[in-house]
Copies of this chain bind each other. A is one copy, B any other.
Amino acid sequence: MAITVVGSVAYDSVETPSGRYDRELAGAATYFSLAASFFTDVRVIAVVGDDFGPEQEAVFHARHIDITGIERAPGKSFFWEGSYLDNLNEAKTHNTELNVFASFEPKIPDSYRDSQFLFLANIDPVLQRRVREQMPDVKLVAGDTMNYWIKDHRPALLEVLKGLDILLINDTEARMIAGNNNLVQAARGVLSLGPETLIVKHGEYGATAFFSEQSFSKESQSPHHAFRAPALPLEEVVDPTGAGDSFAGGFFGYLASQPELTPAVFRRAMFYGSVLGSYACERFGTERLQQLTRKEIDERFLVFRELTHLD
């Protein structure tokens, strides 16, 4: 079933210990949709500026991603500049220019209306909510956010959380939302705010899912019940930018491709998320995702199984 994703389609300038690049196509919705496109149809809602041309469109078209909902506005696309020189697990932001995103009013094309899956990538929670409200009948809604919205836009974020089935964030964000340093207690706090499932991404250590009693993905009554997907120990993390969005794309794309949502499907989706996240880090920007094949994805899925399974 098709996924509609709303989020940034942007340009990044990034420096890592492996090198640097300037103003390359990036953005959460770009990483997400490239990753999800290996599993299902993906439709993007975003706004771009005059700097988005045929070359960038071709990246989406090559993966059969629907960009009817990418609006063109006069001005420049969203731009982010950051580095990971001291710590590959955490970006240092040098510059953020909202540009055309500052006055973005997301509109859902009619051809997107039958999407059963909705992903609200990390943008202003006011925009996330507006998209959510325009698509009341979707089967499953997942979303992401970041420290900036948690800290300074809490009331708007809390409204978004009420409408989410699955929230994907990192350790620090989970602890910030709940105001609790213990991850299990923080997870319970986040789940009490709306989402039935919380996925906490640990960077190079993988990701853990926590479940409320209502979650389709919960299958055990164990008080310890959670599910942990590993990350792949990588010889060289060339560029961690977009790894979390690629995880989300692999995860949600796989879910959307399955006839039924079961705990077993959920677990496999977590592994596919890790697979896409690991590939994203192997080259600069979206390069690896653009060249990836489904065969490589399935091969690495088996590597992940071998990495964690007893037999």
A184 to B235, CA, bound (A): 5
The reply to whether the CB of A264 lies closer than 8 angstroms to some CB of chain B is yes
Smallest CB separation, A269 vs chain B (Å): 10
In the complex, the chain B residue whose C-beta lies closest to that of A311 is: B264
User: A185 near B224 (CB under 8 angstroms)?
Assistant: no
Hey, which chain B residues are within 8 Å of A149, CB to CB?
A: none
Residue from B206, B237, B309, B311 within 8 A of A182 (CB atoms): B237
Hey, which chain B residues are within 8 Å of A233, CB to CB?
A: 183-184, 187, 208, 210, 224, 226, 228
The reply to whether the CB of A230 lies closer than 8 angstroms to some CB of chain B is yes
User: B184 near A225 (CB under 8 angstroms)?
Assistant: no
User: B268 near A226 (CB under 8 angstroms)?
Assistant: no
The reply to whether the CB of A232 lies closer than 8 angstroms to some CB of chain B is yes
Smallest CB separation, A200 vs chain B (Å): 9
What size tier do the contact residues of chain A reach?
A: 35 or more
Hey, which chain B residues are within 8 Å of A232, CB to CB?
A: 224
User: A228 near B230 (CB under 8 angstroms)?
Assistant: yes
Hey, which chain B residues are within 8 Å of A305, CB to CB?
A: 310
User: A308 near B237 (CB under 8 angstroms)?
Assistant: no
Q: Mark A16-31, 1 if CB is under 8 A from B, else 0.
A: 0000000000000000
Hey, which chain B residues are within 8 Å of A224, CB to CB?
A: 232-233, 303, 307
The reply to whether the CB of A306 lies closer than 8 angstroms to some CB of chain B is yes
A226 to B271, CA, bound (A): 16
Q: How many copies does the complex hold?
A: 2
User: B306 near A308 (CB under 8 angstroms)?
Assistant: no
The reply to whether the CB of A124 lies closer than 8 angstroms to some CB of chain B is no
Taking CB atoms and an 8 Å cut-off, the chain A residues in 202-256 that contact chain B are: 202, 204-206, 208, 210, 220, 222-228, 230, 232-237
The reply to whether the CB of A92 lies closer than 8 angstroms to some CB of chain B is no
The reply to whether the CB of A175 lies closer than 8 angstroms to some CB of chain B is no
Hey, which chain B residues are within 8 Å of A235, CB to CB?
A: 182, 184-185, 223
A148 to B174, CA, bound (A): 34
User: B205 near A306 (CB under 8 angstroms)?
Assistant: no
A204 to B224, CA, bound (A): 14
A204 to B228, CA, bound (A): 12
30 A-B pairs whose Cβ atoms sit less than 8 Å apart in the complex: A182-B234, A182-B235, A182-B236, A183-B204, A183-B233, A184-B233, A184-B235, A185-B235, A185-B236, A187-B233, A202-B205, A205-B205, A206-B228, A208-B233, A220-B306, A222-B303, A222-B306, A224-B232, A224-B233, A224-B307, A225-B306, A227-B307, A227-B308, A228-B230, A228-B233, A230-B230, A267-B311, A305-B310, A309-B309, A309-B310
